[in-house]
Amino acid sequence: MKDHPKAAEYRTEKLTFAAYLIASGKAELVATEPTKGSKNVLFVLSHSPTRDEITGFFSGTATVSALRYSEAMNTLKSAAYEWKRQTGGW
C-alpha cells in the first residue's frame, strides 16, 4: 500500500466495486479501517471513481481482466481478514 494524498482517497464497504477499481488499474488499496457504527471493514482506495466508472460497474457494462479482478478480490479479502485479526472486528 502506497502513500497517497487524502483528497484522492475513496472509501467503500463494497468489496466487489473496490476490486473492480483495483483491477482496472485506476486505484490501489491504501488502508482498511472500521466503518462508523458497524463492525464492517472499509476499504480506502487511492482513486475516487468517476461517474462513468460507477455507472459502468453497477450497470454491468464495465470490463476488466478476470485474472486481475480475482487477484484484487484476494488482496482485499486478505486485507479484510488481517484487519479483523488485528481489531477483533465483525
pLDDT digits (tens, 9 = 90+) for 5-50: 455 799 999 999 999 999 999 999 999 887 776 667 889 999 899 9
What was the pLDDT predicted at 87? Answer: 76
DSSP 37: T
What was the pLDDT predicted at 37? Answer: 66
Q: Which residue has the cell 461517474?
A: 51
The alpha-helical segments, DSSP class H, found in the chain are 15-23, 51-59, 66-87
Residue 79: count of CB within 10 angstroms of its CB: 18
The Cα–Cα gap between 31 and 46 comes to 9
What was the pLDDT predicted at 5? Answer: 46
What was the pLDDT predicted at 88? Answer: 75
Interval 54-78 mean pLDDT: 96
Q: Which residue has the cell 479484510?
A: 80
Q: Residues 44, 30, 15, 25: is their CA dihedral positive or negative?
A: positive
